[in-house]
Chains A and B, each alone.
With several copies, the nearest count.
Chain A
Amino acid sequence: MNTITAVNEFVIRFANVNGTGSASANMLFAKSLFRMGIPVSPRNMFPSNIQGLPTWYDVRVSEKGYMGRRGENVDMVVAMNPQSFERDVKSLAPGGFLFYDSTKYIDTGKYRSDIQWIGVPLMEICQREYQNPRQRQLFKNIIYVGALAALLEMDFDVIKDLIASQFKAKQKLIPPNIHALELGYDYASKNFDCPLSIKVKAADLNKDKILIDGNTASAIGAVYSGATVASWYPITPSTSLVEAFEKFAERFRIDKETGEKKFAIIQAEDELSAMGMVIGASWNGARAFTATSGPGVSLMTEFLGLAYFAEIPVVLFDVQRGGPSTGMPTRTQQSDILSCAYASHGDSKQVLLFPSDPKDAFDIAADAFDYANRLQTPVIVMLDLELGMNDWISDELEWDDKREYDQGKVLNAEQLDKLERYGRYLDVDGDGITYRTYPGTHPEKGAFFTRGTSRDEYAVYSELGEDYVHNVDRLTRKFATAAELLPKPVIYKAKASAVCGVVYVGTTALVQDEMTDLLEQDGIYVDAMKIRAFPFHSDVKKFINKHQKVFVIDINRDAQLRTLLINEEDFDPAKLLSIRHYDGMPVTAVTIVEQMKSALGISDNSNAEKRA
């Protein structure tokens, strides 16, 4: 039997029952590797329920720095869930390692003989060590982490330190956790040849990096960018964004003396209300946001049209999940692109931003408030579950203390006094963006009526066709202004000159390196462009025009990004080749490369099979 041999380059899957405390233990495992300086990408696949159903946690360890999902097959499975045991055993690559609880006898031969079985009597150890049944269950998880430490030759001190720092607030929990770790460690050391042929080795690759999820990073961005009003309605996978905002606001925004809060978070009764509150707050001059997922976006549709037409800044985080409808609430997709870009009836168009990693999410979250205010329009930050709810290795977050918040074109009382006549919708600067005033600014000047109906330049209700056309053509102009204001795409040149390009948004960035390497191995060179915003910057057009063929990667069935590109820029569809992935799991480099090669007519003899 072949045995997989790998150092710092493998995938280990934890198969658990949800609600059994495994998440903390698995995170402990992943973070220990992170602290050992090894690039690692943990990924949670959880069910849409609270307790008792299968949940998986894949940890990819990759010294090469490949942080995307590798594929369905893994090198090691920690199979803790009887419900999914068969399926989990199947998911192991030949020569891989199956870690299981051997308290009850399992006829391993019945399953597979081309893998290594590593049985640790976890339950037995727990029965012996703990009286309280809850402790038994919880520590079982820590014990397997301890065993893995021995099996994979992890740095035990790193794990202990991590426990110590995690339980800083509850010191007395430290010793029992360390004890549990040692129980596993000792058992494995005694009973197996440690380390296995698959193992880790300390490196120094995570300098100046942090391990953080995208929702948290976005929330910190919102705190830094001076967001004061958050209104929301709970929905997976966006909930943790607002919860993180609350956490950091509670920490940094409460006046120590008075206890006054320099923020307000309101759990709305639904998404319509959440969006209404953001609109009201922004209209009144605060920096406000909400976060939701697909169904919430659908419910906000009417209000998004109002904000577009009445020109109210809005920041909306859409943490995308599998659609349509309730769809796959705990799976990832980028399938709200069209519904967000054209949210609402009539000729509505919305600004989209596409963060691709936590640092980017932080920056884009912070910038979003400036853009929304400058452009006086909704800005939708398009995250997805993959970015929002998983921990990623990311550059450290940065802030320039000299940065000022951009509230856009707002006139104060003095400025109003100098004006002959104020026109809310007068395009004074020719960029399509007009001047607003906040309620209460001036006793006699600058008041206007905000409405979702057509109006003239002085905000007076009008049903005249010419007033309407004048106004909506200005909005088109404003979008042209937006295109050049918003972040440019990031372009990655191939090592050799390339006739093909590849274009994507958001988390697909995660597989970019691996994809490029795989293609290069076959002598294929492709320039890549990560689009960061819609409306599209002129560089997007340039990039596409420069290449003969351009692959557009869509994490949805209907090729929505490709659609948006063609719609808005009049590219010839024949030139834009569609790559699609939409089963709810994060996309793999192999999937993309296979589709690219088949589109290019290159037979698939690459290492795809070896890896998938």
Chain B
Amino acid sequence: MSYMKKPQFYNPDLPKNELGLTIRDYEGSLSTLCAGCGHDSISSGIMQACFELSISPHTVAKISGIGCSSKTPTYYLGNAHGFNSVHGRMPSVATGANVANRDLTYIGMSGDGDTASIGLGQFVHVIRRQLNMLYVVANNGTYGLTKGQNSATLDKGSKPKKGPDNPWDSIDLVTTAIQMGATFVARSFSGDKQQLVPLIKAAVAHKGFAFIDCISPCVTFNNHAGSTKSYDYVREHNAVMNRMDFIPLQDEITTEYAAGTSSQVSLHDGSVMHLQKLAEDYDPRDKITALDNLQRHNADGKVLTGLLYVDPDASDTHDVLATSKTPLRELKEKDLCPGAEVLSSINASFS
């Protein structure tokens, strides 16, 4: 939702962080996503987290694929470089970037289509490489930008806006991430700032690969026809016109619930999602238990949220590759070039 100009005035009373910056310094350009889109809440979560961590925005590199979710890096940290690459390939671009300069903070934004379909291979392999980054999937179970096809994370049996019920098993990204060796794995809900912001902060601070699967309702396309809600003129209109050309302005879906409790979130179409927050005394350091826990809740149709697994002593790609502490991109001729004399000896070895 974008045609209202962003207010330009700065409130002198806005709180400042250690760097003397206000939250405004963490903003990007105005979002062009649909009103109420969960992705916008993730953007503000990231701004909030970076603000609270007192990270200088320009030391962050934002990398994404293609999709509504992948557009979001434009909408936060305007003083950071961003790279909106190609569909499903954010992980490899992020890997290259990180390898070139280990000193920046890397945030990778992706969608469930971007990650679980076209990008699944890259997702798994960036995990295996233990890249030091925060990888966020704005998970809405659908392909927002191409207008609502089912994604591979959509629950089996879900009713999408168009077409028949989803007949395929869904891919559980957090389970996959833990299985493949991610050392920080969390799930959250875009509308739950209380939970999301601290998770983002912890993930950014984590050394190694940090993954947040953030459920982020697509207010426009997902889970539509499954609704049992009463008559809606708009819906019928769209159905009859055989095209989705009217998209009502929606409110952001939010929730707030305590650790160890569960929350039922109503989506705009009337369907309900059961979120279950991990108890406060949950120890996320045991991988086998984490996986077990997930499986049990999945079977119950409950979506477990919180920090599911963490290895606080994780290493990262640079540790494994033993790359120099000075970022590779800072190395100069004298560091890199063996020189003419050495070349003579190389020549000699080939003669």
Query: Do A and B touch, yes or no (CB under 8 Å, in the complex)?
Result: yes
Interface residues of B in 1-60 (CB under 8 A from A): 1-3, 32-35, 56-59
- Number of chain A interface residues as a range: 35 or more
Tell whether A283 pairs with B93 under 8 Å between CB atoms, given A228-B100, A239-B147, A450-B81. Answer: yes
> When the two chains form the complex, which single residue of B118, B143, B246 contacts A19, counting CB atoms closer than 8 Å?
B246
Tell whether A281 pairs with B99 under 8 Å between CB atoms, given A52-B1, A252-B338, A262-B335. Answer: yes
B337 within 8 A of A: yes
Tell whether A255 pairs with B324 under 8 Å between CB atoms, given A50-B145, A266-B95, A286-B100. Answer: yes
B103 touching A261, Cβ below 8 Å: no
The listed residue with most A CB atoms (<10 A of its CB), out of B56, B57, B336, B339, is B336
Q: Report the stretch among A134-142, A491-499, A573-581 that lies at the interface.
A: A134-142
> When the two chains form the complex, which single residue of B32, B58, B121, B346 contacts A270, counting CB atoms closer than 8 Å?
B121
Q: Report the stretch among A69-77, A400-408, A541-549 that lies at the interface.
A: A400-408
- Total contacting residues, chain B, CB less than 8 A: 98
Q: Which residues of B contact A268 (CB under 8 A)?
A: 92, 125
Tell whether A440 pairs with B103 under 8 Å between CB atoms, given A19-B34, A252-B342, A269-B152. Answer: yes
Q: In the A-B complex, list the 7 residue pairs whose CB atoms are closest, starting with the nearest.
A: A280-B96, A276-B92, A21-B246, A286-B100, A19-B247, A277-B96, A439-B81
Least CB distance from A392 to B in Å reads: 10
Interface residues of A in 367-401 (CB under 8 A from B): 396-401
B188 within 8 A of A: no
B343 touching A224, Cβ below 8 Å: yes
Residue of B nearest to A272 (CB): B89
The listed residue with most A CB atoms (<10 A of its CB), out of B120, B162, B331, is B331
Q: Report the stretch among B195-203, B209-217, B235-243, B290-298 that lies at the interface.
A: B235-243
A234 touching B149, Cβ below 8 Å: yes
Cα of A280 to Cα of B162 in the assembled complex, Å: 28
A236 within 8 A of B: yes
Interface residues of B in 49-90 (CB under 8 A from A): 56-59, 61, 63, 66, 68, 71, 73-74, 78-89
Residue of B nearest to A236 (CB): B146
B117 within 8 A of A: yes
Q: Which residues of A contact B100 (CB under 8 A)?
A: 228-229, 280-282, 284-286, 288
Q: Which residues of B contact A103 (CB under 8 A)?
A: none
Q: Which residues of B contact A398 (CB under 8 A)?
A: 340, 343
Least CB distance from B330 to A in Å reads: 8
> When the two chains form the complex, which single residue of A22, A281, A282 contacts B245, counting CB atoms closer than 8 Å?
A22
B328 within 8 A of A: yes
A284 touching B337, Cβ below 8 Å: no
B74 touching A449, Cβ below 8 Å: yes
Q: Report the stretch among A166-174, A478-486, A508-516 that lies at the interface.
A: A166-174
B254 within 8 A of A: no
B233 touching A138, Cβ below 8 Å: yes
Known: A50-B144, A252-B342, A280-B99. 11 other contacts (CB 8 A): A50-B34, A224-B337, A229-B96, A273-B89, A279-B92, A281-B328, A284-B329, A286-B96, A399-B337, A439-B58, A439-B97
B299 within 8 A of A: no
Interface residues of A in 245-273 (CB under 8 A from B): 246, 248, 252-253, 255, 258-273
B79 touching A277, Cβ below 8 Å: no
Cα of A82 to Cα of B243 in the assembled complex, Å: 24
Tell whether A277 pairs with B93 under 8 Å between CB atoms, given A260-B324, A285-B101. Answer: yes
A239 touching B2, Cβ below 8 Å: no
Interface residues of B in 309-337 (CB under 8 A from A): 321-325, 328-329, 331-333, 335-337
Least CB distance from B319 to A in Å reads: 11
The listed residue with most B CB atoms (<10 A of its CB), out of A224, A239, A274, A453, is A224
B81 touching A24, Cβ below 8 Å: no
A212 within 8 A of B: yes
> When the two chains form the complex, which single residue of B3, B82, B241 contacts A17, counting CB atoms closer than 8 Å?
B3
A262 touching B121, Cβ below 8 Å: no
Tell whether A279 pairs with B85 under 8 Å between CB atoms, given A23-B245, A169-B240. Answer: yes
B324 touching A276, Cβ below 8 Å: no
Identify the A interface with B (CB < 8 A).
17, 19-24, 34-35, 48-53, 81-83, 132, 134-135, 137-138, 166-167, 169-170, 173, 206, 209-212, 216, 220, 223-226, 228-229, 231, 233-236, 239, 243, 246, 248, 252-253, 255, 258-286, 288, 295, 302-303, 306, 325-326, 396-401, 403-405, 437-444, 447-453, 461
B233 touching A134, Cβ below 8 Å: yes
Q: Which residues of B contact A285 (CB under 8 A)?
A: 100-101, 329
Write 12 A-B pairs (CB below 8 A) sorted by A numbering. Answer: A51-B34, A134-B232, A134-B233, A211-B351, A261-B324, A264-B323, A266-B95, A283-B83, A286-B96, A438-B329, A447-B81, A450-B84
Q: Which residues of A contact B3 (CB under 8 A)?
A: 17, 52, 81-83
Least CB distance from A36 to B in Å reads: 12
B234 touching A226, Cβ below 8 Å: no
A266 touching B237, Cβ below 8 Å: no
Residue of B nearest to A49 (CB): B32
A277 touching B99, Cβ below 8 Å: yes
Least CB distance from A110 to B in Å reads: 18
Residue of B nearest to A21 (CB): B246
Least CB distance from A252 to B in Å reads: 4
Least CB distance from A181 to B in Å reads: 15
Q: Which residues of B contact A210 (CB under 8 A)?
A: 347, 350-351
Least CB distance from A479 to B in Å reads: 22
B79 touching A444, Cβ below 8 Å: yes
Tell whether A211 pairs with B350 under 8 Å between CB atoms, given A138-B233, A264-B99, A286-B101. Answer: yes
Q: Which residues of B contact A211 (CB under 8 A)?
A: 350-351
Least CB distance from A333 to B in Å reads: 18
Least CB distance from B6 to A in Å reads: 13
Q: Which residues of A contact B122 (CB under 8 A)?
A: 269, 272-273, 276
Q: Which residues of B contact A265 (CB under 8 A)?
A: 321
Residue of A nearest to B66 (CB): A326
B260 within 8 A of A: no
B89 touching A132, Cβ below 8 Å: no
B248 within 8 A of A: yes
A270 touching B96, Cβ below 8 Å: no
Q: Which residues of A contact B84 (CB under 8 A)?
A: 449-453
Least CB distance from B118 to A in Å reads: 4
Least CB distance from A206 to B in Å reads: 8
Least CB distance from B296 to A in Å reads: 28
Q: Which residues of A contact B232 (CB under 8 A)?
A: 134
A439 touching B56, Cβ below 8 Å: no
Least CB distance from A103 to B in Å reads: 16
Residue of A nearest to B117 (CB): A269
Residue of B nearest to A170 (CB): B240
Residue of A nearest to B350 (CB): A210
B247 touching A50, Cβ below 8 Å: yes
A303 touching B80, Cβ below 8 Å: no
B129 within 8 A of A: yes
Q: Which residues of A contact B63 (CB under 8 A)?
A: 280
Least CB distance from A257 to B in Å reads: 11
A273 touching B245, Cβ below 8 Å: no
A276 touching B248, Cβ below 8 Å: no
B234 touching A228, Cβ below 8 Å: no
Cα of A246 to Cα of B328 in the assembled complex, Å: 16
B245 touching A303, Cβ below 8 Å: no
Cα of A425 to Cα of B86 in the assembled complex, Å: 20
B86 touching A138, Cβ below 8 Å: no
Q: Which residues of B contact A231 (CB under 8 A)?
A: 92, 95-96
Tell whether A282 pairs with B96 under 8 Å between CB atoms, given A263-B328, A264-B321. Answer: yes
Least CB distance from A140 to B in Å reads: 11
A399 touching B92, Cβ below 8 Å: no
Q: Which residues of A contact B233 (CB under 8 A)?
A: 132, 134-135, 138, 173
Q: Which residues of A contact B150 (CB under 8 A)?
A: 267
B331 touching A276, Cβ below 8 Å: no
B94 within 8 A of A: yes
Least CB distance from B226 to A in Å reads: 19
Tell whether A52 pairs with B32 under 8 Å between CB atoms, given A270-B88, A281-B99, A398-B343. Answer: yes
Tell whether A134 pairs with B1 under 8 Å between CB atoms, given A279-B93, A281-B96. Answer: no
B340 touching A399, Cβ below 8 Å: yes
